[in-house]
Structure 1
Amino acid sequence: MAAVTEFVLLPIKPDAAPEAVASVIQANIATLLAQPGCQRVRSSRTHEDPNKLRLFADWASLEAHRTFAANAAAYGPFLQRMGGIVDAASFGPTNPRRPPFHVEFAAPPPTALDGDKGKSPIAEVLQVYYPSDVSEARRAEIYATTADFLGKLGAVAKGLMGEVALGWSVETDILFKGEKSRALVAVIGWTSYEAHMQTRDTEEFKKLIPMVRDIEGVVGMEMFHVSNVTTEGGQ
């Protein structure tokens, strides 16, 4: 069974006290790490929108996470606590609730996400969406092209930390612009947010980005930055 990283997006109530949010997140991280198979949990406000909080949980397998979700005694209080800080009013027809999804990285765990416990102070997370029925052979081609892009980026960009993770989502029904999609996720470690933005303004980057942006079948892309606090659990 393959290891997976769970990606969670939590829109936080604008009026939620930071102390209350921190208390809930700490309690729920403790709950996660008490589950068999949960190896570590990372958390961060999103650089681009501090009202969006991200969690990244490494699981030994998808089955381990599903076992936790089926355990009402542990999962019920977990959801109840989370409900107290999530901005449910932000959901609607143009902004539907986005359930967690899982990524099988080629070389787990994705250490570029480790933040305060790792080498990279900040991580860029790039999620590129493709049709839900993209074939296995086509996924392999897309993966190879994206890996080539990341290698060439490393040769010209300043501020990279030399940490990259790449993998496909397990789920094929991730909603993006109203369409069910499958995501190829790249995590790239940087010295700072500013270093990435400066790289994006270079001619070298502008020549490289079409390698990913113009891949046939791309539904769309999302990019954000996190500086995670990482909590380790039992292996």
Structure 2
Amino acid sequence: MAPATEVATIPLASGAAIEDADSSAGKVWQSTLDTVSQQDGFQRAYYGREVENQSVLQLFIDWDSLDHHKQFIASPIYGPFAKHLMTIVDGTLTMLHANFAPHPPTAALGTISPVTEVLTFYFEKENDGFDSKLRQFIKVISENAEGFKAASGGWVIEDVEYKGKKGKAYVAILGWESVKAHMNFRETQAFKENINIVRADPLGMEVHHTEFVAR
């Protein structure tokens, strides 16, 4: 079984200071991380608030396989665990899984990357050639961008919905020295001449930045 990374997007309740270990939200969050880290098949976790929307928390968890996470979901402790977590959530929590390559995606998610660009590309169905196109574009970045650190990417295992239609998604994570480093690259000729490599095929795309810390 291939390793899988859980990709969770968590809209936090107003005032939920998860970074403060002494706050009620901080205690809930630490309990959440403690419980997850004790599960069979858990490898590591990364979490952080979206730079552009501080009320949204992203949680990435590396598992030995998707089945290991499913076993946790099916266990007796999951119900109370989820209910406890939802006390600091305001909105719809989404949870997907992706097979990132390279795995683990640690370098792009905080160990050497202060900020991570999270790109989600949407398709009607899996596109066999998109992996190679993304690698081609990342090569352009690595050769031309100051402050670029690392990258990983993979297809989302589950079907997703985009503008009311079911389809597939590809998530790419690119580590940067700063958001400014990424924005500076977007102004370069190298970016403008090559971005269509990855923009031509998808139905659409979403991008934001997250400052991840590793658990």
Normalised by the length of structure 2, the TM-score is 0.92
Do structure 1's residue 59 and structure 2's residue 63 form an aligned pair?
yes
> Where do 1:220-231 residues align within 5 Å?
220-231=204-215
2:109 touches 2:175 (CA, 8 Å); kept in 1?
A: no
Paired AA for residue 159 in structure 1? G
Do structure 1's residue 183 and structure 2's residue 169 form an aligned pair?
yes
* Residue 47 of structure 1: aligned partner: 51
Q: 1:126 aligns with which of 99, 105, 119?
A: 119
Q: Structure 1 180/20 Cα, relative in aligned 2: closer, same or farther at 3 Å?
A: farther
2:108 touches 2:151 (CA, 8 Å); kept in 1?
A: no
Q: 2:157 aligns with which of 170, 174, 179?
A: 170
Q: 2:79 aligns with which of 64, 68, 76?
A: 76
> Where do 1:14-163 residues align within 5 Å?
14-18=14-18, 19-72=23-76, 74-88=77-91, 97=92, 99-115=94-110, 118-131=111-124, 133-134=125-126, 139-161=127-149, 163=150
Q: Which runs of 5+ in 1 are unaligned?
A: 89-96
- SS at the partner of 1:119? coil
1:113 touches 1:228 (CA, 8 Å); kept in 2?
A: no
1:8 touches 1:55 (CA, 8 Å); kept in 2?
A: yes
Q: Which runs of 5+ in 2 are unaligned?
A: none
- SS at the partner of 1:56? strand
Normalised by the length of structure 1, the TM-score is 0.85
Let me know the Cα RMSD of the aligned residues. 1.5
1:112 touches 1:123 (CA, 8 Å); kept in 2?
A: no
2:118 touches 2:207 (CA, 8 Å); kept in 1?
A: yes
Paired AA for residue 78 in structure 1? F
Greater shift in the superposed pair: 15-24 or 195-204: 15-24
